[in-house]
Amino acid sequence: MRGVPPRTARLPDALTCLVLGAALALTLPPLQTGALSAVALAALLWHVAHGRDTRQVAGRMFWAASGLCAVHLWWLSVFLGTLFQTPVLGLLALALFALEGSFYALMALVAARLAGSSVLARVWLLAGGWVLLEALRFLGPFAFPWPTLGYSLLPTPMIQIADLGGVLLASALVTATAAALVTFWRHRAAPLWVMAVLWVAALAYGVTRTAGEGPARQAIVERSTVDVFSKAAENMSAQNFFDVYMRPLKQVPLPEGVPVFLPETAVLDESLLPQVPGPGIYGLYTPRPKGNKAVAWDGQQITAQSDKARPVPFGEFFPLHSTLRPVWRLIENAVGFSLDSLPPAQTLNILPLSGVNYGAYICYDSVFPWVARQLTNKGANVLVNISNDGWYAGWGVQQHFMMGRVRAIENRRWVLRSVNQGIAASIDDLGRPRRTLGRGEGAMQVSFRELRGVTVYNRVGDFPALLAAGLMLLLGFMYRRTV
C-alpha cells in the first residue's frame, strides 16, 4: 500500500543488549581499545535507560551485563572445565555470567525506581550505581572484580590517576563520561564540557608523572611451565614438583646476595626449603593446616610469612559450602575429590629480607587493590606477586598481568612477578613492564627501585571514587524532573 513506510528489521531486545555488553567488553583488557570504553558504555546506558518501565530497565541491564561478562570472561569456561577435569562443567561459567548480570540488574532496578520516568535521571543513577557496584564486588564471599571499567584506561596516560583514588577513580571517569555523552545527545552540553576539562586534567596529570628514585636492587624471578591440573601431576611427589620449579634457575647465574622469588606453591613440603638456592621469597603450601603462603627464607630458616588474602572462588574457596552442601556433594561425586575451602589470611605481613621490606601477595590477591595498599601502608618498599597462572586461560593470563600493573601505579611501588604459566616481569612504579618473560621456561635477573613515598590512594583509599559516584547519584536526582 502507498503511504505505508516499509518495516525495518529489528534485533530482539535481549540480543541488542547482549551486543551492547559485548561491545563494551571489547574495550577492556587485554585489548588496547580502552579509549573507546566511555562511548561503548554510553550506548549501553542509552538503551537501558530507555526501557519502558523499571522492569524492562532491569531486564536490559541483566542481558547487557551478562553479555559483557560472557565476552570478557569467556576463558572461565576453559578454567572450570580444567579445574574439575570435566569439560562439560565449564558450562558452570554461564551461571556465573548470569549471577553477575543479576547484580547489575538489581542495581538498575533500584536506579530506575528512584529515577521515575526521566531518562537522564536513570542514566546518571545507573552511572553512579555502576561505580558503587564495582566497589562492592571487591567485598564479601562472592567478591570477583572482573570486569572493572577503570582498567580500560591502562593503555592511556589517564590511568595514572589511580594513585589518587585507585582503579575505581578511573572507573568513575569512564562512567561519568558515558553519562555525559548521553546527556549531550539529549541536548544538554554542560556535563560533557565538565568531563572534557576533567579528561584534559587527567591527561596532563598522566603525562607529567615521572618514575620514583630510590636505591637500586636486584632479584631473580622465574617463569615455570608446570601443568598442575594434568594427569601426570597427580602422580608427582612434592620433590618432583620442587625439582621442576628449580629447573629454570639453572639457566641464569645466581649471584650471592640476590634474592630469588619462586611462584605460588612451588614448595609443597616445608622440609624442602633447605634445598632452595639461598635467601628469597618462596610459595609454600601446607596441607595441615591447609595454607597457601609466601615465606621469607634467609638461607637457614623462615623469618616471616604471609597467607593468601583472597582464595580463588570455586577453585580454593567454595561459597555457601554448608548451605548448599547437597549441590557441592553432587559436584564432588562428579569430580572424584573433596572440595575443601582454603582459609583466607587473617592478617597480611611484611616480609623483610636483606634490609628490604617486601609486600608479597599471592596470585588472585593481585586483582584486589586493598591487598597491595594494606601492605604498602605497613611499610612495603617493593611489591612481589608470586602466582600460579595455570588457573587462567586465554585472555585471563593477560588480564591478570594487566590488572596487576595498576597496583604499581596506585601505590607507586615496583611490582615483581614470579609465576607459573603466566607472565614473569618487573614493573616500575608507573605501571610500565620493564622486563617480561611470557613464553617458555626461564628465569631472569631484574633490577628495581626500593621506594618509600605515600600516595593519595594509600591515605584515603577509594574515597575519591566513591565521592564521584555520589556526585553522579546527586545529579541523577536533580534530573528527575526532566524527561
Query: Is there a domain that residue 337 lies in?
Result: no
Q: Are 351 and 382 in contact (CB under 8 A)?
A: no
Helix axes 92-115, 463-478, angle to 10 degrees: 50
On whether both 203 and 235 belong to a single domain, the answer is no
C-alpha cell belonging to residue 34: 580502552
Distance between CA atoms of residues 170 and 33, nearest Å: 15
Q: Residue 397 is part of a domain; what is its CATH number?
A: 3.60.110.10
Q: Are 254 and 221 in contact (CB under 8 A)?
A: no
Distance between CA atoms of residues 23 and 170, nearest Å: 19
Mean pLDDT by 10 residues, the chain (483 residues): 53 93 98 97 98 97 97 88 72 88 97 96 98 93 88 98 99 99 95 98 98 97 86 80 93 93 95 94 90 94 94 72 68 64 83 96 95 98 95 89 98 98 97 96 97 97 98 96 74
On whether both 131 and 230 belong to a single domain, the answer is no
On whether both 251 and 113 belong to a single domain, the answer is no
On whether both 373 and 226 belong to a single domain, the answer is yes
Query: Is there a domain that residue 167 lies in?
Result: yes
How buried is residue 344: exposed, middle or buried, by Cβ count under 10 Å (0-12/13-18/19+)?
Answer: middle
pLDDT at residue 67 in the model: 97
Query: Is there a domain that residue 412 lies in?
Result: yes
Q: Are 66 and 25 in contact (CB under 8 A)?
A: no
pLDDT at residue 311 in the model: 83
Distance between CA atoms of residues 108 and 123, nearest Å: 10
On whether both 471 and 411 belong to a single domain, the answer is no
pLDDT at residue 1 in the model: 45
Which residue range is the domain that position 230 belongs to? Answer: 216-309+344-451
On whether both 301 and 411 belong to a single domain, the answer is yes
Query: 356-362 and 351-353: which strand pairing?
Result: antiparallel
CA-to-CA separations, 50 to 45, 195, 337, in angstroms, rounded: 8, 23, 49
Query: Is there a domain that residue 157 lies in?
Result: yes
On whether both 47 and 103 belong to a single domain, the answer is yes
Q: Around Cβ 383, how many Cβ atoms within 10 Å?
A: 27
On whether both 81 and 186 belong to a single domain, the answer is yes
Number of domains in the chain: 2
C-alpha cell belonging to residue 357: 621490606
On whether both 114 and 232 belong to a single domain, the answer is no
Query: Is there a domain that residue 35 lies in?
Result: yes
> Cα Rg for the chain, rounded, in angstroms?
24
On whether both 26 and 84 belong to a single domain, the answer is yes
On whether both 383 and 283 belong to a single domain, the answer is yes
Query: Is there a domain that residue 280 lies in?
Result: yes
Query: Is there a domain that residue 127 lies in?
Result: yes
Query: Is there a domain that residue 2 lies in?
Result: no
Per DSSP, the residues of 141-163 read TT----S-GGGGGTTSGGGGGHH
On whether both 278 and 418 belong to a single domain, the answer is yes
Q: What angle do CA 411, 414, 420 make, to 5 degrees?
A: 115
pLDDT at residue 361 in the model: 98
- Residue identified by cell 550506548 is 43
